[in-house]
Amino acid sequence: MNSIYKKIQASALKGEKLLAVLIDPDKVVIEKVPRFISKINQSVATHIFVGGSTVDENDTEYLVEEIKKHTNVPVILFPGDVNQITGKADGLLFLSLISGRDPNFLIGKHVESVSKLLQTALEIIPTGYILIESGNKSAVERVTNTQPMSRIDVSQITKTAKAGELLGMKLIYLEAGSGAKSPISEDIIKSVKNKLSIPLIVGGGIKSKEQLERTYASGANLVVIGTALEEDETFFEKIKK
Ligand code: 1GP
């Protein structure tokens, strides 16, 4: 039990760099999954996240089943809604959108998901999810109708992350939004990391090896990349094992 989280925690303590490839059931073409997964298997990726903002019922389960046929990399749900929960995955980021003040995304959806979760053996990882403005309107902002935090208010972002930890969350995820113009800044990552005792996830808008390295150097333990790999598979070559 708790093996996914324990491994993330152990890697974070050792300073190992973790990388999750995000696959959005809405964007992926199912026939291309085996090839895409074989690229992941040969890359330095340590996790596969599956999730999107607007996904049809059953699409996630179908996709996860297909992914699991081709890899032993742990598959973790990163759900945009309750209908994306499937027991076929290994784990679930139980996201609470602590940058916003909408009770639905802080606790409402979680209550709604309990009956479903109790029927699965998913490892559930409570995660404080912090959306930060990044130059363009993100899908998270659109779907949740919550304001991202101002990227210049580093102090407020840091306090929000720490409050999440003090509430008992096991991970903090700093999110610039999928396809963000600019990724989360080094200042923000450093400041949050400095106050945090739990592992830190950073994602959104990371498109180059340099940006990836900078994100780790600033203190991210696990980096999430979706769009850059979806749009340009040669990026996999740059992050080969
Ligand atoms: C989005 O943080 C993830 O939720 C990944 O973003 O698609 O921009 O890599 P990208």
Q: Cα Rg for the chain, rounded, in angstroms?
A: 16
Taking phi over 0 as left and psi of -120 to 50 as alpha, with beta for the rest, 206 belongs to: beta
Pocket of ligand 1 (CB under 6 A): 22, 175, 178-180, 203-206, 224-228
Q: The pTM is what?
A: 0.97
Cα(142) to centroid of ligand 1, in Å?
15
Torsional sign, CA 163, 169, 172, 178 = negative
Q: What pLDDT is attached to residue 2?
A: 56
Ligand 1 pocket: which of 178, 182, 202 to mutate (most atoms within 8 A of CB):
178
Domain with 62, as residue range(s), is 4-239
Cβ neighbours of residue 74 closer than 8 Å, sequence gap 6 or more: 4, 46, 47, 48, 90, 91
Task: Compute how many other C-beta atoms are within 10 angstroms of the C-beta atom of residue 113.
Answer: 19
Torsional sign, CA 89, 180, 98, 192 = positive
Backbone angles phi, psi at 18, to 5 degrees: -110, 145
* Separation of alpha carbons 229 and 143, rounded Å: 23
Closest ligand 1 atom to Cα of 175: 2
* Separation of alpha carbons 110 and 126, rounded Å: 10
- Exposed/middle/buried for residue 176 (C-beta within 10 Å: 0-12, 13-18, 19+): buried
Cα(157) to centroid of ligand 1, in Å?
19
- What is the domain-level CATH number for residue 145? 3.20.20.390
User: Domain total for the chain?
Assistant: 1
Q: What pLDDT is attached to residue 46?
A: 98
Ligand 1 pocket: which of 211, 227, 232 to mutate (most atoms within 8 A of CB):
227
SS3 56: coil
Closest ligand 1 atom to Cα of 207: 9
* Separation of alpha carbons 107 and 63, rounded Å: 27
State the 10-residue block means of pLDDT for the chain, 241 residues long: 88 98 94 96 96 87 97 97 96 98 97 98 98 94 94 98 98 97 97 98 97 98 97 87 68
